[in-house]
Amino acid sequence: MKRIGLLTSGGDCQALNATMRGVVKGLANACDELEVYGFLNGYKGLIYGDYRILDTREFSGILTKGGTILGSSRQPFKLMRVPDANGLDKVEAMKHTYHKLRLDCLVILGGNGTQKTANLLREEGLNVIHLPKTIDNDIYGTDMTFGFYSAVNIATEAIDCIHTTAASHNRVFIVEVMGHKVGWLTLYAGMAGGADIILLPEIPYDIDKVVEKINERSKAGKGFTILAVAEGAISKEDAALGKKELKKKMAADAQKYPCVSYKVAAEIQEKTGQEIRVTVPGHTQRGGSPCPYDRVLSTRYGAEAARAIMDADYGCMIGLVDGKMKRVPLGECAGKLKTVDPKSSIITEAKMTGISFGD
């Protein structure tokens, strides 16, 4: 008999259901008896004992279903040690629920914050396995997170659609792509969509360099320019500020602009006099069905998690490293970000094709 818990925490993505399906199908084929407890709405379900027993048949037919059948919520890691409004110790409550259900393992699907809480539970003595979910692809210790390529497809399609209207009206268009701290999604979607300028959090931009690229295209007879801008893109001037000064500056910018793309648009318009349009795909990048790549990747993640459970090898994140599934100790990856290296080969190759990063 194996008793496992499943929960999905943080922002949703297209392949959460596909990954849970892989876990359950892998275990169902490996052991004689299996009980699956699904915690509702992320860590909230574990804290307050809000769960339901799931029949293995419920995991059939969800390979292509986006979102999560368990629901999700954001529970900031920094508040996990802070009692709730009623004085409840959240960590002790999660441990109590785990032991009450006599779980062999808790399988946690989520991003960086989710992973840090998973590591906390490991340190508290619970058997946990983390599966790396995020459209940002910023989890340290794995080459690829599930959900990333599905979001790349959607962001790329948005840029593709902008091309025709940009060309028709000879305008500068900005497409803002998700990614507060890292630019993997913007980088991939920008390259795949043929963006002329890509602005990433890891490469602070010089607005004059951005304008220089736009003018260069105009002189070459190209009447439009497309920018793929990460929502965490930052100028060189702002990047040089101290933390307090930057926080103050960002607060002031937030009063003037809905998001960074509108700031960039205003700066370009002021310097060029050209008409600028901004498109923000937003949460559409998290929605819809997982792409075929993510369906395969999620199935592999789930199967490897099932194998780790059968081996009683806990306290790890399942990662994809050099094309193979690997069990990465949570203590080695929790709390670390995988960022885009400005000196990496992919950036060099993008620049060789004429893409500007505003630097």
Same domain for 193 and 63: no
Same domain for 129 and 57: yes
Beta bridge partners of 328: 317
Report yes or no: 157 and 144 within 8 Å, Cβ to Cβ: no
Closest Cα to residue 174, out of 192, 151, 154, 190? 190
Higher pLDDT, 246 or 20: 20
The pLDDT, as a whole number, for residue 330 is: 97
Q: Is residue 343 assigned to a domain?
A: no
pLDDT band for position 274 (cuts 50, 70, 90): confident
The pLDDT, as a whole number, for residue 167 is: 78
Same domain for 104 and 12: yes
Q: What are phi and psi of 39, to 5 degrees?
A: -90, 130
Same domain for 85 and 7: yes
Residue pLDDT, tens place only, 71-100: 998 888 898 899 998 999 999 999 999 999
Closest Cα to residue 30, out of 7, 61, 1, 62? 1
> How much of the chain, in percent, has pLDDT values that exceed 90?
81
Residue pLDDT, tens place only, 303-354: 999 999 999 999 999 999 999 999 999 999 999 999 999 999 999 999 999 9
Closest Cα to residue 250, out of 266, 263, 265, 267? 263
- Which stretches within 235-352 are classed as H helix? 236-239, 243-256, 260-272, 292-310, 330-333, 345-352
266 CB burial (10 A radius; 0-12, 13-18, 19+): middle
Same domain for 299 and 271: no
The pLDDT, as a whole number, for residue 281 is: 92
In the residue annotation, 136 being an active-site residue is answered as yes
The pLDDT, as a whole number, for residue 248 is: 87
User: Domain of 231: which CATH number?
Assistant: 3.40.50.460
User: Domain of 12: which CATH number?
Assistant: 3.40.50.450
Q: Is residue 262 assigned to a domain?
A: yes
Same domain for 204 and 184: yes
Report yes or no: 158 and 166 within 8 Å, Cβ to Cβ: no
pLDDT band for position 21 (cuts 50, 70, 90): very high
Structural domain containing residue 225: 151-285
What is the residue whose two structure tokens read 């279903």?
A: 65
Q: Is residue 348 assigned to a domain?
A: no
pTM equals 0.93
Number of domains in the chain: 2
Name the active-site residue from 12, 136, 196, 294.
Answer: 136
Residue pLDDT, tens place only, 168-190: 777 899 999 998 889 999 999 99
Same domain for 132 and 14: yes
Q: Is residue 358 assigned to a domain?
A: no
Same domain for 93 and 203: no
Q: Is residue 351 assigned to a domain?
A: no
Same domain for 302 and 207: no
